[in-house]
Each structure stands twice: as structure tokens, then as C-alpha cells.
Amino acid sequence: MLGNDGTFATEPGEETLMVIRKHWLVYGKPTLKAFGLLLLLFGFWIAQANYFQQWQGTAIINILTIFSSIFALIILAYLYVHWVNYYFDLTILTNQRMLFVNQKRIFAREVSELNFLKVQDTKVDVSGILQTYMNFGNVLVETAGESPNFSLDHIANPHEVANKIMDQCERLMDRTSNNSNTNNVAPYDGV
């Protein structure tokens, strides 16, 4: 899907214009939770080493060490799962279509495609002081007919992304209408 150089193209003449991920602040919340829990755990280990010296080598300390180590691994796994979801949830804009890759779980992903000719409008939602200051928000891509609308949640530079989508839609529609006009017009024979 994505090459090592960050490009994506499956059809002839298709170029990758933009790869969009969620804003880094979305990943910051689970990261802060995990590091807070790890900090508490390290505090417990320091207290265990300094204040419980009379119990060193006993079964209770060994059991606490094993359970705290398992807890640390669970915290790191939690952090890894959130990183995978953050990194592999992306939207790819090409010059012909949009691809939405939604990483559901570590080994499950959903890929949706939207041709620019089906896009009707885009709406940007930036609400709150944090989203305004950090320049991230949601973009709703409205489609024609029975096609479902697509939402790009918590992305950086939502106004720029919405403008890029609409610019590409207009370019593709102009190109399509110019091709259909030149193909449907009969040549003038002077009569």
C-alpha cells in the first residue's frame, strides 16, 4: 500500500498528494496515562529496594516483583497498541481518489475508497481552545447519493486538508467535463 518513500499509487497516472494522520496530541493522552502508571511502578520498585530490605529474598517480595513486572509489560503493550492505531490510521489523498485506512486492532484494518467525483462538500469542525491553538480538528467529507459520508477525525491542519480535497475535486471535475465536451462536439465542416 505505502512504499518506503511514502508514495502510494495503484493506477496509471495516480500520484500521492498527501498522507494524513491524526494529530500527535491524540496519541499524547494514552502516552501520558502509560508513563504516569510506569512512573508509579518505578516509584514502587525504588521503595521496595530502599524500604523493604528486611523482606528481601522472601516469597512476598518475589511475588510482588513478578506481578509488578507483568503490570509493566501490560502498560507497555497498551502503549504499543495505541501507537499502532495512531500510526496506521491514515488517509491518503491522490490526484484521483481518497483512501481511508482505519486500523481497528493490531491485526485488523478497514480500507475505504472515495472517488473525488462523488464528493459534494467538506465541512471543518475545530472546537475548543486546545483544537484552535494546536490547529487540529475534524473534516467531514460529504458525498453524493447513497454513498456514506467520511469523517477525518482529529487531524492536523483541517482547513488546509479540506481546501486540498475541494481543489482536487474541482480539478478532476474540470478535467472530466473538458474531456466529455471535446468528445461530444462534432467537428465544424463549414456548412
Mean pLDDT by 10 residues, the chain (191 residues): 53 83 87 89 80 71 84 90 87 87 84 84 90 91 82 90 90 76 50 46
Strand partners, 125: 138
Cell numbers representing residue 18 in the block: 498527501
pLDDT of residue 191: 46
Is there a domain that residue 191 lies in?
Answer: no
List the domain range (segments joined by +) for residue 58: 16-178
Contact 9, 94 (CB under 8 A): yes
Q: What are phi and psi of 23, to 5 degrees?
A: -65, 145
Residue 150 located in a structural domain: yes
- Let me know if residue 80 belongs to a domain: yes
The three grid cell numbers given for residue 10, joined into one nine-digit string: 495503484
Looking at the structure of the chain, the number of domains it has is 1
User: What pLDDT is attached to residue 16?
Assistant: 85
Report if residue 188 sits inside a domain.
no
Per-residue pLDDT at 133: 92
Residue 64 belongs to a domain with what CATH number?
2.30.29.30
Helix (H, G, I), strand (E, B) or coil at 41: helix
Output DSSP code: residue 181: H
Task: Say what the pLDDT of residue 10 is.
Answer: 67
Do the domain assignments include residue 58? yes
Q: Which has the closest alpha carbon to 100: 38, 51, 147?
A: 147
The pLDDT of residue 137 is: 92
- Residue 183 placed within a domain: no
Q: Does residue 2 fall inside a structural domain?
A: no
Q: Is the pTM of this model over 0.75?
A: no
DSSP single-letter state for residue 148? P
Tens of pLDDT, residue by residue over 126-143, are 998 988 999 999 999 988
In a domain, 190, yes or no: no
Q: So what's the pLDDT on residue 172?
A: 83
